[in-house]
Structure 1
Amino acid sequence: MPETPEPHLRRQPQQARGQQRIQKILDAAEHIFADVGYGNATTNAIAVRAETSIGSLYQFFPHKEAIRKALVLRYLEEMRTLFDQHLTPESLETLSLPLFLERLIHDIAQLRESHQGFRPIFFATQISPEGIECTTELKHEIMQRISLLLTIRNPALSEQQCAICARTCVAIFQSLMSLAMDLQGQERTDQLNELRLVLLSYLQTYISNGTQERVSETCSSI
C-alpha cells in the first residue's frame, strides 16, 4: 500500500505501527463514504469502523476533509503504479495492441471496482489543489507514454500527431470507463469491451502505416 500523502496529516507517524493505523483509518473512511456518502459520513463512524478511538483519529487527521484528500492522493498513487506496470517500453513495443488494451482496461476496471468509495471521494466536494496537481501530472505522464507507443509503432508520425492522439485517447478512456463503472454485471462487461474496441479502432488509424497520412490528406481537401 502506498504511503499516505503527508500534507494532510496533523502528526507524522514515526513507526510502522502508526502508518498501519493511518491506512486502517483511510480504509474505514472509504467504506463509510461508499455506504452513506461523504456528506453523511462522520469521523466518529470512521473511528468505529477503524476500531480506533476518535482521539487517535484526530491525532493524524484534523477533520473529515483531510481524510478525503488523503484518500484522493492515495488512489491517484495506486493508479500511477498501475500505469507504470502496463505502460513500459517493453510492453509498448512487443505486445499486440488488442492484448495490451485488454489487459490495461481489465486492471484499471478492477482497481476502480476495488474502491467502492471512488465516486463520493472524488465528487463530494472540490478536489484539493494537491489532488488537482497530482491528477494533471498523472494525465501528462499517461499521454507521454501513449505518445511513446505511437512513436514506436509508427515512427513516421509527427510530434503534433502523437500529442493529439494521446490527448484524445485519455479523454475517450476517462469518459467510457466512467460510463462502464456506473453499470453492473454483463452491461459493465459489454461497455468495457466497447471501450477497448473504440480505442483499438482509433489507435489503429495512427499505427497502421500510411493510414493516418491518408486521413489527414482527405480532411485537408474537404
Structure 2
Amino acid sequence: MAISKPDSMLMRRQPQQKRSQQRVEKILKVAAEVFAEVGYEAATTHQIAAKADTAIGSLYQFFPDKLAIFHALEAIHMERVRAILTKLMQSADEYKSLREFIEHTVDIYAQYFEDPIPRVVYIQYFVAPELFELFDETFDKQLIQQFAAFFRQWNPDLAIEKSELLAETVHRTYNALLLNALKQDQSKRQVLYAELKTMLVSYLMPYTLSQQVMKVMICPHCNSSRLSKNGHRHDKQRYLCKDCGKQFLERLISENF
C-alpha cells in the first residue's frame, strides 16, 4: 500500500524526485515498525535510519527529529481515516440493513489496522495523547456528531440528544474494544472483532430503526407473520394466525433483523 503524502509543515523539505519519495515512504513505514517494537519513547532516529537502510543525514534532510516523524504518521492516519469514513457514509444506502453496514464497517477497520502505521498511531494515542496535533477531543466530538446524524438517517424519529448519546457510547466502547483487540494475536483478534459486531448490532438495532419498521406482529405460537384481525377482547385487538389457526391478543415484538 502506498503511503500518503505527509503534511508539508511536518517536514524540513518535500521529496521531489521519485527516489526521494520512496526513501521517505520507507522511513515512515520503518518508523511505525520501530515504534511498535520498542515503543515511541525508546525508539531513536538512528534505529529508524539503520533499519530503513538510510544514512542518518538523509533522514534529517526530511525530518528534524523523532516527533516530526511521528506527526507525519499521524497526518497519514488522519487522511486515511477521513477517506474511509467518507466512503462508508456515502455507501450506507447500499446496505440492506444496519446489521450488514455495521459488520462491513468493523471488517473495513479490522483490515485497515493490519497496517503498522495506523495501528501504532492508534495505540499511541491512548498511551501519550499529548504527542498528537490532529487527533484530540475536538476531533472526537466531530466524529460523534457525524455518527449521531447518521443514526438519525436510519431513524428520523430519534431525538438529537439521544442520537448523540448513542454515538458517544458507540465511539467510546468501540475504541476500548478495538484497542484491546489490536494488542492480541491474530486469532484472538478475529474472535474479538466478531464479539464487537454482535455487541454493536444488539445495542444499536432497537434505536436506529423507526418504531413503524422495528415493530411487527407475529404469532406467539408459530412465529408466523401471516395474520388477520379477528375482533377485540378486553379493548385489545385479537388476531387469527393463517398458518396455525390459533387466536391471540395484540403482541408487538422486534423484527428478526
Shorter-chain TM-score bucket reads 0.7 to 0.9
Match of 2:135 among 127, 132, 135: 132
Structure 1 residues 129 and 106: CA distance shift in structure 2, 3 A: closer
What runs of 5+ residues in structure 1 fail to find an aligned partner? 212-222
Q: Tell me what 1:175 maps to.
A: 176
1:25 partnered with 2:31: no
Aligned length: 208
State the distance in 2 between where 1:94 and 1:104 align: 11
TM-score (norm 2): 0.71
In the superposition, the TM-score normalised over structure 1's length comes to: 0.81
Q: What SS is found at the alignment partner of 2:133?
A: helix
The range that moved more, 157-166 or 15-24, is 15-24
4+ long deviations beyond 6 Å:
none
SS in 2 for 1:131: coil
Q: Is the partner of 1:205 in helix, strand or coil?
A: coil
Q: Within 5 Å, give how 1:80-91 maps onto structure 2.
A: 80-88=82-90, 90-91=91-92
Distance in 1 separating the partners of 2:42 and 2:107? 32
**Could you tell me whether the CA contact under 8 Å between 1:172 and 1:199 is conserved in 2?**
no
In structure 1, C-alpha distance between the alignment counterparts of 2:36 and 2:180, rounded to whole Å: 18
Match of 1:37 in 2: 39
Deviates more, 1:118-127 or 1:175-184: 118-127
* Unpaired runs of at least 5, structure 2: 213-257
Aligned-partner Cα distance in 1 for 2:141–2:150 = 14
- Secondary structure class of the residue paired with 1:207: coil
Aligned amino acid, residue 132 of structure 1: F
Which segment drifts farther, 24-33 or 178-187? 178-187
- 1:74 is matched with which residue: 76, 97, 100? 76
What is the Cα deviation at residue 5 of structure 1?
Answer: 1.7
Q: Which amino acid aligns with 1:41?
A: A
| CA distance in structure 2 between the aligned counterparts of 1:144 and 1:120, rounded to whole angstroms | 23
Which one has the bigger strand percentage? 2
Q: Residue deviations 1:78-120, cap 9 Å, x none?
A: 22222222122x4246441121111111121222222253466
Alignment RMSD (CA, Å) = 2.5
CA contact (8 A) 2:71 2:132 kept: no
CA contact (8 A) 2:27 2:49 kept: yes
Does residue 1:206 correspond to 2:215, yes or no? no
Partners of 1:98 and 1:104 lie apart in 2 by 10
Structure with greater helix share of residues = 1
Aligned counterparts of 1:3 and 1:186: Cα–Cα separation in 2: 33
Higher alpha-carbon deviation: 5-14 or 48-57: 5-14
Question: Which of the pair has more CA radius of gyration?
Answer: 2
Residues 176, 121 of structure 1: alpha-carbon distance in 2 compared, 3 angstrom cutoff:
closer
State the distance in 2 between where 1:125 and 1:166 align. Answer: 24
Q: Percent identity?
A: 33
